[in-house]
């Protein structure tokens, strides 16, 4: 006999694994009765001390047909990062209270957070005649872009006036920048649901240097899941950095070294490959390549200083986390992965102890990266499209003007129209 979604939820609750409960609800919340959902969430929230969510869940379980209690539960779920649990409650609340603008916008927000952008667009467009410009129509345009519907996004953006409230000026500018980048990318890329490089540029303004062929059409569409890095991958990334700089006409005068060990190693290697002097990082320095192995390892204050792009400055990140992206989006990223280790770190193995990290001096490890045979280009096959240096150069040259015009490194929290499987 197959265990029901509800029975499985309670089994996980009784096992005390709150993370497993919430992962289960991500895929099943919409199939549970509202009262059952509230009871499961109440118990899980109690185990981690989310008292406001416990209270909202308990109140909804007592009155599962109350539009107010449904909304309060949904709001509390969103506040604690569980928009997937909020959606069924907010859908029902809106059905019972269809004129409530607060419920309407909260549901649109929940769809956006869960990257259900097409549903957010459909919901917002269903009330097109009564939408306010801010934030209603802004949300419609933004979610249309993230859903890959550029025609609808452009049509609606024309109807969106510049905001009177300065708090919305950044959002308005971001939308305009995304659509301008889409115009540039469309000339050299298909911008379909498999075009990871094209959409990475549209959403963030950064150029993605490599596309993973592993599980391309079955699950990953160019991104990595768990990834053990190698000197050859790092060397390929540096060669592609050089290719993008050449294709875009960028002419940095130095390589800036960040403070963490991984970035210093890769920065020293980059300086050697590019034939440039390595200098300590200073905020606002122009005409330099700032090298990060992964921005997650860089001090928070330093990352914040990289949000605004100095003239001629290029931020290069080797391994970018796509499930929890850093606060700033690099101008060039080598690869997108969910998790992984650098070649000089403990290796990903079945042994919990893993391989020992490489404790040699940074300059020695950097020399190994420079000397490494670069990972080979992927020529393309029936499972994955080609990913060659020539294709990267053609793309970078085609978007060079839009890439150079980027003044702030705004991050996009959504994966956009190109979806990949997540493994945690």
| Mean pLDDT along residues 284-308 | 98
The closest of 26, 38, 32, 21 to 73, measured between CA atoms, is: 38
DSSP state at residue 258:
P
**Is residue 286 domain-resident?**
yes
Q: At what angle do helices 150-158 and 138-146 cross, to 10 degrees?
A: 160
What band does 1 get if pLDDT is binned at 50, 70 and 90? very low
Domain with 203 in it: what CATH number?
A: 3.40.50.2020
Weakest mean pLDDT among 67-76, 200-209, 235-244, 340-349? 340-349
- What are 157-163's contacts with CB under 8 Å, separation 24+? 160/133, 161/133, 163/133, 163/134
In a domain, 410, yes or no: no
pLDDT at 424 exceeding the cut of 80 = no
Calculate mean pLDDT across residues 99-122: 98
| Same-domain check for residues 169 and 200 | no
Burial class of residue 323 in the structure, from the number of CB atoms within 10 Å of its CB (0-12 exposed, 13-18 middle, 19+ buried): middle
Q: Which of 178, 207, 222 is the last residue of a domain?
A: 178
Statement: residue 11 has pLDDT above 70? yes
Shared domain for 96 and 199, answered yes or no, is: no
The residue to which tokens 């893993």 are assigned: 354
How far apart CA 75 and CA 69 sit, in angstroms, is: 10
| C-beta atoms surrounding 158 within 10 Å | 9
Average pLDDT rounded to a whole number, residues 161-187: 97
pTM for the predicted model, two decimal places: 0.95
Same domain, 163 and 197: no
Instruction: Check if the beta carbon of residue 314 is closer than 8 Å to that of residue 288.
Output: yes
- Residue-wise burial string across 281-291, b where 16 or more C-beta atoms lie within 10 A, e elsewhere: beeebeebbbb
Is the per-residue pLDDT at 33 higher than 80? yes
Co-location of 244 and 341 in the same domain: yes
| Pair (170, 273) in one structural domain | no
**pLDDT 10s digits, 67-82:** 999 999 999 999 999 9
User: CA triplet 415, 181, 329: central angle to 5 degrees?
Assistant: 50
* Cβ partners under 8 Å of residue 339, min gap 6: 225, 226, 227, 321, 424
164 and 226 inside one domain: no
Residue 401 lies in a domain: yes
**Looking at the structure, do residues 49 and 113 belong to the same domain, yes or no?**
yes
- Looking at every residue in the chain, the average pLDDT score rounds to 96
Write out pLDDT tens, residues 383-393.
999 999 999 99
CATH number for the domain harbouring residue 114: 1.25.40.10
Which of 178, 213, 232 marks a domain boundary? Answer: 178
Q: What DSSP string describes 331-366?
A: SEEEEEEEEEE-TTS----SSTT-SPP--S-HHHHH
Residue 373 has pLDDT above 90, yes or no: yes
Put residue 357 in one of left, alpha, beta given phi > 0 → left and psi -120 to 50 → alpha.
beta
Check residue 46 and report its DSSP letter: H
Residue 245 pLDDT greater than 50, yes or no: yes
By C-alpha distance, which of 39, 42, 46, 37 is closest to 87? 37
Question: Do residues 170 and 226 share a domain?
Answer: no
Does residue 68 lie within any of the structural domains? yes
Whether pLDDT at 353 is above 90: no
On whether both 134 and 246 belong to a single domain, the answer is no
In a domain, 422, yes or no: no
* pLDDT for the residue 3: 81
Range of the structural domain that residue 144 is part of: 5-178
Q: Give the pLDDT of residue 2.
A: 58
Question: Which of 52-56, 70-74, 280-284, 349-353 bottoms out in mean pLDDT, i.e. has the lowest?
Answer: 349-353
| Interval 85-105: pLDDT, tens | 999 999 999 999 999 999 999
Is pLDDT at 355 greater than 90 in this prediction? Answer: no
In total, how many domains does the chain have?
A: 2
C-alpha span between 207 and 334 (Å, rounded)? 8
Domain annotation covers residue 184: no
260 and 377 fall within a common domain: yes
Asked if residue 174 has pLDDT above 60, the reply is yes
pLDDT tens for 131-141 read 999 999 999 99
Looking up tokens 């509800």, which residue turns up? 6
- In this structure, is residue 183 part of a structural domain? no
Measured between alpha carbons, how far is 422 from 118 in angstroms, rounded to an integer?
20
Q: Looking at residues 93-119, what average pLDDT do you find?
A: 98
Are 12 and 145 part of one and the same domain? yes
For the residues 205-221, what does the mean pLDDT come to? Answer: 97
**361 located within any domain:** yes
Bridge partners, residue 340, by sequence: 227
On whether both 171 and 233 belong to a single domain, the answer is: no
């Amino acid at each position: 006999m197959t265990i029901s979604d509800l029975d499985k939820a309670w089994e996980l609750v009784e096992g005390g694994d709150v993370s497993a409960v919430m992962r289960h609800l991500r895929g099943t919340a919409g199939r549970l009765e509202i009262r059952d959902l509230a009871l499961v969430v109440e118990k899980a929230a109690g185990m981690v001390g989310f008292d406001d969510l416990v209270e909202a869940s308990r109140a909804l379980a007592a009155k599962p047909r109350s539009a107010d209690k449904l909304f309060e539960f949904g709001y509390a779920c969103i506040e604690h990062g569980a928009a997937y649990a909020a959606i069924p409650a907010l859908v029902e609340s809106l059905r019972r209270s269809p004129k409530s603008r607060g419920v309407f916008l909260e549901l649109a927000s929940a769809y956006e957070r869960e990257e259900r952008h097409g549903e957010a667009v459909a919901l917002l467009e269903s009330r097109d005649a009564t939408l306010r410009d801010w934030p209603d129509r802004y949300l419609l345009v933004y979610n249309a872009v993230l859903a890959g519907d550029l025609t609808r996004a452009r049509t609606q953006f024309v109807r969106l006036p510049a905001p009177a409230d300065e708090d919305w000026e950044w959002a308005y500018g971001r939308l305009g920048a995304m659509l301008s980048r889409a115009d540039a990318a469309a000339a050299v890329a298909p911008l379909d649901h498999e075009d990871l490089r094209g959409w990475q540029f549209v959403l963030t303004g950064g150029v993605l240097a490599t596309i993973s062929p592993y599980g391309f059409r079955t699950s990953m569409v160019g991104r990595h899941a768990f990834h053990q890095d190698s000197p050859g991958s790092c060397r390929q990334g540096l060669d592609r950095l050089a290719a993008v700089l050449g294709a875009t006409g960028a002419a940095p005068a130095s390589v800036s070294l960040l403070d963490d060990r991984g970035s210093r190693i890769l920065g020293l290697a980059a300086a050697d490959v590019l034939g440039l002097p390595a200098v300590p990082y200073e905020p606002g320095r122009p005409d330099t390549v700032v090298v990060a192995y992964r921005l997650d390892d860089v001090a928070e204050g330093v990352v914040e200083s990289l949000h605004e792009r100095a003239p001629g400055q290029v931020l290069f990140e080797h391994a970018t986390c796509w499930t929890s992206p850093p606060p700033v989006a690099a101008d060039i990223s080598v690869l997108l992965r969910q998790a992984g280790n650098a070649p000089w770190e403990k290796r990903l193995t079945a042994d919990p102890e893993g391989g020992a990290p490489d404790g040699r001096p940074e300059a020695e490890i950097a020399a190994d990266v420079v000397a490494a045979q670069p990972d080979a280009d992927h020529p393309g096959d029936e499972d994955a499209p080609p990913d060659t240096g020539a294709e990267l150069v053609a793309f970078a040259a085609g978007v060079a003007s839009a890439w150079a015009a980027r003044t702030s490194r705004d991050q996009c929290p959504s994966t956009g129209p190109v979806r990949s499987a997540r493994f945690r």
